A and B are shown apart, each in its own frame.
Chain A
Amino acid sequence: MAEKTVTKLHREPLFHIVKRDDMVWWKAWGIRAITIVVSIFVMVFISSLLTGKGMIQTFEIMYRGVFGRIETGSFKMLFKYFEEVAILLCLALALTPAFKMKFWNCGAEGQALMGGLGAMVCMIELEGKLPLAVLIPIIAVVSIICGAVWGVIPAIFKAFFDTNETLFTLMMNYIATQIIAYYVYIKGGGSNVIQPVEAGIAPSTGNAHYFINAGIVAVLTLVVYIYLKYSKHGYEISVVGESQNTARYIGINVKKVIIRTMLISGAVCGIAGMLIVSGIDHSIRTASVGGQGFTAIMMAWLGQCNPFITLIMTAIIVFLNTGAGKVADSCHLNSAFADIFVGIVILCVVGCEFFIKYSVKIRGARKGNKE
């Protein structure tokens, strides 16, 4: 044998990435929870650096900004918070079946706007002509149909021509916005604003609409959960989402499932639009949904197709968004601060998925180290 050369060549890479085995569920959720808490602390720390206020004080501003003074018996802010959560959750719930099918519906904004438009048309045209008991079901049916139609168009194209659903649903948003703009232009006269109408599924004043909106969405959460987990439709959605080949093999009509699921997704978006237009605003404008259709994409994704996790995520994000907005307001920061705040927290949560799936090993640490 040749002479022994004892030159140790340390050319092993500095670190390498190793795929983990499946993590125990509580550990994975622990990591996610810690990520959220830590990223919030970091962002609060950064805001206190920017504003000169202490961290506790910043937390207080956020808390007060969201919940107001509950201890004095004023629940209005709390109710408002629930309602905001409800609307965003409703949109996220709408996306959940589609996402489970791996159909990336980015059109919640447009589908909700169209649902809202349906409600608005009914409210304006039928106000005073029909009793409320008749009008409300009509509003509901029309807005559900409007949302469903807007959702099913990309699905039909996807099913029969294999178009890209992400772009298609996204573009449908802009068409919806323009239709709303046109409608407002016609109905609003010169002012380009539609004056609120009295009729609707809930009165715009008082506290009733908070409960109605939150109640409807609470029921919806349960319905979507049961639909996905225990119904045959839900099972078909999972199979199509996981493997279209398997779906074909066992004789599921993939086209039918895509179209049916998007009808449902669009319909629930339509409900969200109805809640906004006919439950809260009693009017419509192009910004009625206010970008929540896009935030909902993130919420549905973070919820991992489980409506209850989506609920928790939505509650956290709405809290942060409102709270950070208040911090920006009261400390004269740019209004984009809230978006940055929430954006970074979401980014951290998404990023932590990497560490749940993989672990990073540093050079030299391998010997003697059990991990």
Chain B
Amino acid sequence: MTKQPAIELKNITKRFGAKVIANNNVSLTAYHGEVLSILGENGSGKTTLMNMISGIYFPDEGQIFVNGKEAVIASPKDAFGFKIGMIHQHFKLVDVFSAAENIVLGIDGGKYNLKKSTEEIKKISEQYGFDLDPEKKIYSMSVSEKQTVEIIKVLYRGADILILDEPTAVLTPQETAKLFDVLRKMRDDGKCIIIITHKLHEVLSLSDRVSVLRKGEYVGTVNTAETSESELTEMMVGKKIDLNIERSDPKDPQDRLVVKDLDCINRDGVAVLDSISFTARSGEILGIAGIAGSGQRELLEAIAGLQHISQGDILYNDPKSGKTENLRDKTPVQIRDLGVRLSFVPEDRLGMGLVANMDIVDNMMLRSYSKGRSAFLERKAPKDLAMKIIKDLEVVTPGASTPVRRLSGGNVQKVLVGREIAASPTVLMVAYPVRGLDINSSYMIYNLLNEQKEKGVAIIFVGEDLDVLLELCDRIMVIGSGKITGIEDARTVTKEQIGLLMTKTGEEE
């Protein structure tokens, strides 16, 4: 059986401003009855390309053919006219509506008949093996259920070309497997499935063919069966890369930070942390895994003195004096004044760790500006530090006086991590440190963390990519709904076990 082309892109170019070329002369074809992966690093133009197919952007140059005919797709509505549906990374659902209401929302023509629609939704669910209650409200759904709603929404509108943007980023391994089953069923039903991803193992397990983009350029398409992880990486990055993360054994680990029975209640009165107890040891990387929003952020902020603690203790053992300090109910300044060298790379880099509109030098000062008695700022030392970080970490920037918002994601993170490490910490907390980073920058961050580990720093690493956690960390602590569901040895535990622990408390409730 020869496959019919569903979508053909010919010489598509899209620019943002004069300098940024998001896509340059990209041509590729996706067929009915196949899963095509669009693979590329962050910032390689995958999402931009798909946004042009789904009518959000309009290409500057080039043509799009749908089912062999040239198509002008100027709006998402046009896209639906061509039976193209996109499932975005960030869901666009009305929280207080039910699944069925969200699905029928915004459809023109026909009478509003929720009962009939519900029946149809159930039929679609059965056909592809979705697990969804159409009457359930969005706010009471898990992330994976919300994603199901998004997928059914486009199917309900008759889409037979489905584009999924990083669909597994927010899912546990079990949920991912389930999603892939559904997608395979749709493929066998003759639909064209395009998934955007940067995770190699997903590409290999799911797709029939892979198209690779690098820095907006189309690199090539290969059949999944005939390729390997290392070949794909080479296509993605442009050079051979060793994908193994080093892991040395912890040297002389000592209890550095002991958290005991920590409870936290947020502003709405909801318990976000529930009797958390663990120990972070020097010279060791403690990984924290969990579904997004399970209390990881609150835990780190509580330790850093940014979150009110309702119960429990955070004990810090000073390696020099041997004294033990309780950090509970202390502000960041008080913690610093105690001589606790605690560094924290928060999840929100530009909104919390740095000031987007300030230049690199002024961002270096954030930690140190208040030192000394003078009423005026001292910019010499921060400037030297900025120059040193730019040089040592190979930060790509026009200069030290460039606002950090103009740097790329990887360089922003280098500036932030560089500053936090420059304080020679004894405890280093990092939250999603490689999110949005390209492979080279990611490995640089892993190396920096390993260096700190060698120096005897106690590192707490909150991550989302389980493969990385398993390779980098010494121990992995899993959080589900604000509770610890397990602390495992990262050298022996499997991905599936971690996945099960991630959903453990979630299902009990």
Q: Which residues of A contact B (CB under 8 A)?
A: 1-2, 5, 7, 9-13, 16, 18-22, 230-235, 238-239, 242-243, 245-246, 248-251, 366-367, 371
Contact = CB atoms under 8 A, between A and B. Distances in A.
A18 B365 contact: no
A234 to B, nearest CB: 8
**Binding site secondary structure of chain B:** loop
A230 B70 CA distance: 60
A8 to B, nearest CB: 8
A66 B47 CA distance: 58
Contacts of B352: 243, 245-246, 249
Given A21-B17, A230-B376, A239-B366, A11 B69 contact: no
A223 to B, nearest CB: 12
Contact of A246 (B61, B351, B369, B374): B351
B353 A246 contact: yes
Given A242-B356, A366-B60, A232 B375 contact: yes
Contact of B355 (A7, A238, A367, A371): A238
Interface in B1-29: 5, 16-20
Contact of A245 (B333, B348, B362, B367): B348
B251 interface: no
A233 B68 contact: no
B223 interface: no
A250 B358 contact: no
Contacts of B355: 238-239, 242-243, 246
Determine which residue in A1, A22, A246, A371 has the highest number of CB atoms from chain B within 10 A of its CB, and name it. A246
B366 A246 contact: yes
Interface in B49-72: 58, 60-61, 67-70, 72
A69 to B, nearest CB: 46
A230 B69 CA distance: 63
A9 B69 contact: no
Determine which residue in A230, A234, A245, A371 has the highest number of CB atoms from chain B within 10 A of its CB, and name it. A245
A19 B357 CA distance: 17
B304 to A, nearest CB: 8
A12 B60 contact: no
B72 A19 contact: no
A85 B336 CA distance: 47
Contacts of B70: 5, 7, 9
Interface of B: 5, 16-20, 58, 60-61, 67-70, 72, 74, 304-306, 331-333, 336, 344, 346, 348, 351-358, 362, 365-367, 369-370, 374-377, 406
A369 to B, nearest CB: 11
The 8 closest A-B CB pairs, nearest first, are A2-B68, A251-B332, A251-B333, A9-B72, A21-B17, A245-B352, A242-B355, A250-B366
A367 B60 CA distance: 8
A50 to B, nearest CB: 43
A22 B375 CA distance: 33
13 contacts: A12-B74, A18-B16, A22-B406, A231-B377, A235-B365, A238-B355, A238-B358, A246-B355, A249-B344, A249-B346, A250-B332, A250-B366, A250-B367
A367 B365 CA distance: 47
Contacts of A2: 67-69
B16 A19 contact: yes
A10 B406 CA distance: 36
Contacts of B60: 366
A18 B20 CA distance: 12
A252 to B, nearest CB: 9
Contact of A231 (B304, B331, B336, B376): B376
A233 B376 CA distance: 8
Contacts of A242: 355-358
Contact of B353 (A18, A20, A21, A249): A249
Contact of B370 (A12, A18, A232, A366): A232
Contacts of B348: 245
B354 A231 contact: no
Nearest to A250: B366
